[in-house]
Structure 1
């Protein structure tokens, strides 16, 4: 399932772009971080209010839906670790949630 708009390559590209935005200190950055951190660990990092899609531009919303489309094609859980992005996610937890991770 690597081909098409919801393939692993498209999802990895979308994730990289979203991580870059989530590192910025903007309203869109906060919303993107909420999305990524809800995927990473919603119980501890908070969930993503769907209405936050209204606060990002169409390109970012498309990247988010690419991730959702990719995840919807699989049975079982897939997290950013599957894309080799654990370090980046831990960085976002520290930046946006102010608590330690291992």
Structure 2
């Protein structure tokens, strides 16, 4: 799947979550954990569904839409054209994964 094949609601929800994940709140961390579990679950950890208890309803709705997107797309988010955005989240929330890669 390519970015242009995403439904408008999917694209908007993913972009909303990407913005939230770039913040520095508890909700930002929860959103980042959710997104990174899709990007690379073996390196970033799995997503505990109870983590969703700590986000607002609008964020949770976007998470539900993105969960459907991830299931429908059969691909990782970087293959949808969001590689730079996800790398920024990794730099913010999992910088240890980049050690040795940014030389």
TM-score normalised by the chain length of structure 2: 0.82
The runs of 5 or more residues in structure 2 that have no matched partner are 1-5
Match of 2:63 in 1: 64
CA distance in 2, matches of 1:84, 1:27: 27
The answer to which structure, 1 or 2, has the higher relative contact order (CA under 8 A, 6+ apart) is 2
Aligned length, in residue pairs:
94
Post-superposition offset of 1:69: 1.7
Match of 1:80 in 2: 77
- Whether 1:13 and 2:15 are equivalent positions in the alignment is no
Structure 1 segments (4+ residues) deviating >2 Å: 70-74
Q: Quick check: which one's helix share is greater?
A: 2
CA distance in 2, matches of 1:27, 1:47: 17
CA distance in 2, matches of 1:40, 1:70: 13
- RMSD, matched Cα: 1.6
TM-score normalised by the chain length of structure 1: 0.83
Q: Is the 8 A contact 1:12 1:83 kept in 2?
A: no
The verdict on how the C-alpha distance between 1:13 and 1:83 changes in structure 2, with shifts beyond 3 A counting, is farther
The runs of 5 or more residues in structure 1 that have no matched partner are 1-6
